Structure 1
Amino acid sequence: MSDENGSYTEVTSTSWFSRLGDSFRGIGIGIILIIAATALLWWNEGRTVRTGDAIAEAQMTTEPMPGIDKIDSAFEGKLVYARGRAVTNDELVDPVFGIKVNAIKLRRKVEYYQWVEHSKSEKRTKLGGGEETVTTYSYTKEWVDGPVDSQSFRRMEGHENKTRIQSEDVSWLAPNVTFGAYRLPEFLIRSIGGERALNLSLSEAQRAELQKAFFAPNAQLDTSQVLGQQGVSMIHAQGNTLYIGRQPGAPAIGDVRVTFFETPAAEVSIIAKVNGNTFVPFRASNGTAFSRLGMGTQDMESMFEAAKSGNAMMAWILRGLGVVLCVAGFGLLFAPLKVIADVIPLLGSIVGAGTGLVAGLLGSAWSLVIIAIAWIRFRPVLGFCLLGAALALVILLYVRGRMRKAGPASA
């Protein structure tokens, strides 16, 4: 069913038996999620401790380097802190669009003007346990990162996609970046920030060459992609953007915009191990590698504090992900109970709320147990505190169950 705005509504029904079968099949997925969450939480705690120990070891070992104007053999093989300017004489070239720049990095970002399908679903449980799903599909024109296959749309008519050209996002790094008398390795060059828009200044000859390459009849492109016409300018340069289409101010389906960014020479501060005229990561006694590059002039202590903060933030992000996966896994284990109760929709809602709470408590408790066991090996005090918290959640779950059982009897 569609309306005059091009949106499309689809109604599907699922029987109670089908839902029940799907819920039982979901138990296997739930078990996999719990196993994956357990592995992630265990690995993350080990990673956090190893990285923290490596940072602490590096902090005690690092020596400030007074200058980088000449190679000092006294620092060979040592972990050093140094400040200076990262510079390159290399010219980076985009071979497709012919853009050239003297920079540490050159980045190309490609966007396509396409029809995009959006969907919104609403589920309704019916008496008897069946489920009805009403899905509304709507269509909008948007700039997206890649071509959209309109043949997969629920309603393709009037929403056909095409592209004038096809390209991809690419980054180039200067192979030779100097740091005083030293040369920066690729792993440090990739950490250099300060990216800015690259102002394009294309001559008429360059635009004509691109027009010919992309839209001339003998261009090496699939004929379905050649939408330009001779005599019509399809290449427009605006700031850091190459616009490929007829009118930049009025985009049409199939238009492409390609934006360019450069990373110029910059002041940087580094912590790394000296290896001849370059640097390598420091490897701690536990085998964990450590190095750091900060933009601008940063003191050594602030760089180590930033490394510690980054390690802690990553630890909490992965812990949160592990807990979410664990709770979702337990939720799938209990899903059949809700489906069974959905024979009476109101009862299904009540059971669903209850199983959701139980899944949340069990998932959180299990996550705390795994984290605690992992930390006991390295941080016994914190590990036992976490085990205590997990035990408290289990006791809370047990007491809640006893209270529910005692409620009807006392009445």
Structure 2
Amino acid sequence: MDRGRTRVSYQRNPNFCERIGQSLIGILIGSAILIGSSVLIFWNEGRAVQTAKSLDEGLNIVVSLDNPNIVSAENHGKLVHLIGSLQTDKELHDEAYNINVHAVKLRRVVEMFQWEEHETERKYDDGNGETRVEKEYSYSQVWRSSVIVSRGFDDSFNHRNPTEMPVPSKNYAAQEVTVGQFVMSYGLKEKINNFKQLGLSDSDIHTQSRVKVHNDYFYHSDDVHRPQIGDTRVKFEYAGISGKSSLGTPDMVTIVARQIGEKLLPYKTVAGDTLELLYFGSLSPKAVFDREMVQNTMFTWGLRFVGWLLMFIGFTCLTSIVTTLVDWIPIVRDLVTMGVCLMNLSLSISLSLTIIAIGWIFYRPLLGFAILAMAATPFIMSQFRGQPARSRMD
């Protein structure tokens, strides 16, 4: 790690009126975030319901093929399930490094040894209406697959990177991939991404004398143990072993797609989705659709969390003016901040659950109404807790 300079600057702290102005702007921003998060959650629930319907439909109509080497005309246009090994006619070839593999995909990954800048910022309140800002810069030497632009470095003179990669990265893909007698679509080929690094030996050394092999990399360097800025290393990765190969036996895959003659194409469901599924290994139709259901559930919950987080941030922006009004009173400020935070948490959870419930009421009514009841729980509890207080006042 090479330590650079530390730069010091001072920022004037905003006064009370300026903080109020910032809070008013926050209200506008918070409103926009709330609208956006509500749209995101509602769209996500619609997508989840549609995907669930499509998967249910697919599982009910899929036809299993006992032998992928036999193409039956009676399955034309139907959603089929088949298991077989990947096959390609030709090897993938990288001419620059004389690499040949029998696989569906091959990629050349090039990395260059470069400077990388790290910035550490610290802020201190000087107590005189200003904030002291210290920015400390440091530099390390790393391997990266893309060019790190050094023109914007704080110390670009002593830490200068090349402006382009000496050797370009490159991807190769088989034109035609078959499973038995069936030809896979482009979409199915794109799902083959089980990349593994290709092992290299001294016999694979490139014709250029400066190229060396170390730890399954081609090094363009005088010394692989002490690389210099601008040195490069190259590795190769493959995916989808196919046909006779020194890499091992062909990969077995399970496919669910629409049969059109000898081609496997996307299947359009009544719900509006397309089914074009591929998994490695031998799986039953139910196992395939169960995995898709799990993926749909995980993706749905991931977007729900993002939507809720945005909604919480939106409510926080909306209520920031409340904490701004009392931030000059230490004890009151802390109590109000905690109360507002809890209120924002409750509102964001309730509103998120309400939108989620609306999306599921028509598909699964019991689940939808159960979620809606959960969303209303905080408000119902507040009503019950408020009744004894009103009774004592009476």
Fold agreement, TM-score > 0.5 = yes
* Correspondence list, 1:169-248, <5 A: 169-200=169-200, 206-208=206-208, 233-248=209-224
Distance in 2 of aligned mates of 1:398 and 1:135:
51
Report matched runs for 1:247-262 at 5 Å. 247-262=223-238
Partner of 1:211: none
1:8 is matched with which residue? 6
1:343-354 equivalences under 5 Å are 343=328, 348-354=333-339
Shift of the alpha carbon at 1:392?
2.0
Displacement of 1:106 = 0.6
TM-score by length of 1: 0.80
Counterparts in 2 of 1:134 and 1:359: CA distance versus 1, 3 Å: farther
Q: Which letter does structure 2 place at the counterpart of 1:188?
A: L
Partners of 1:70 and 1:190 lie apart in 2 by: 25
Say which SS state the counterpart of residue 150 (structure 1) adopts: coil
Amino acid at match of 1:241: Y
Structure-2 separation of matches of 1:130 and 1:356: 28
Residues 12 and 129, structure 2, Cα contact 8 Å, conserved in 1: no
Specify whether residues 256 and 274 from structure 1 end up closer, same or farther in structure 2 by C-alpha distance, changes over 3 A only: same
Match among 273, 276, 287 for residue 288 of structure 1 = 273
More deviation, 385-394/177-186: 385-394
User: Which residue number corresponds to residue 334 of structure 1?
Assistant: 319
Correspondence for 2:253 among 268, 275, 294: 268
Residue 339 of structure 1 and its aligned partner are, at CA, apart by 4.0
Higher mean C-alpha displacement, 154-163 vs 189-198: 154-163
Tell me by how many angstroms 1:329 deviates. 1.5
Q: What is the SS of the residue equivalent to 1:298?
A: coil
Alpha carbons of 1:319 and 1:197: their partners in 2 closer, same or farther (altered >3 Å)? Answer: same
Shift of 1:72: 1.8
Superposition map of 1:367-406 within 5 A: 367-394=352-379
- The structure-2 alpha-carbon separation of the partners of 1:164 and 1:151, relative to structure 1 and needing over 3 Å to count, comes to closer
Amino acid at match of 1:372: A
Partner Cα distance (1:24, 1:152) in 2: 35
Percentage of matched positions with identical amino acids: 30
Contact kept in structure 2, 1:237 and 1:243, CA below 8 Å = yes
CA distance in 2, matches of 1:398, 1:95: 75
Pairing 1:299–2:284 present: yes
Residue 195 of structure 1, CA deviation: 2.5
**1:261 Cα offset (Å):** 0.4
Matched, 1:313 2:298: yes
Aligned length: 378
Q: Between 78-87 and 193-202, report the one with greater CA deviation.
A: 193-202
Are 2:198 and 2:236, in contact at CA under 8 Å, matched by a contact in 1? Answer: yes
Greater Cα shift, 98-107 or 264-273? 98-107
CA distance in 2, matches of 1:150, 1:22: 35
Give the superposition deviation at 1:344.
Answer: 5.2
Segment of structure 1 superposing worse, 15-24 or 38-47:
15-24
User: Helix, strand or coil for the counterpart of 1:165?
Assistant: coil
Gaps of 5+ in 2: 243-250
Matched position secondary structure for 1:285:
coil
SS at match of 1:261: strand
CA distance 1:250–1:20, change in 2 (3 Å): farther
Look up the equivalent residue of 1:207 and give its one-letter code.
T
Moved more, 114-123 or 262-271: 114-123
Give 1:65 deviation, angstroms: 0.5
Shift of 1:15: 1.9
Match of 1:217 in 2: none
Contact 1:114 1:161 in 2 (8 A): yes
Aligned-pair distance for 1:192? 2.5
Structure 1 residue corresponding to 2:343, chosen from 327, 348, 358? 358
Structure 1 runs not aligned, ≥5 long? 209-232
Distance change (3 Å), C-alpha of 1:120 and 1:156: same
Q: Which string of whole-angstrom CA distances, capped at 9 and with x for unpartnered residues, describes residues 80-137 of structure 1?
A: 1111111112232446656443321012223332222223444556768865544443
Query: Residue 25 of structure 2 corresponds to which residue in structure 1?
Result: 25
SS in 1 for 2:319: helix
In structure 2, what is the equivalent of residue 39 of structure 1?
A: 39
Q: CA deviation at 1:337?
A: 3.5
CA contact 1:16–1:128 (8 Å) conserved in 2:
no
3-state secondary structure, aligned to 1:188: helix
- Residue pair 2:8, 2:132 contacting (<8 A) in 1 also: no
Root mean square deviation, CA, Å = 3.2
Asked if 2 retains the 8 angstrom alpha-carbon contact of 1:373 and 1:383, the reply is yes
1:52 is displaced (CA, Å) by 0.8
Q: What is the TM-score normalised by the length of structure 2?
A: 0.84
SS at match of 1:66: coil
What letter is aligned with 1:236? K
Q: Distance in 1 between matches of 2:98 and 2:163?
A: 21
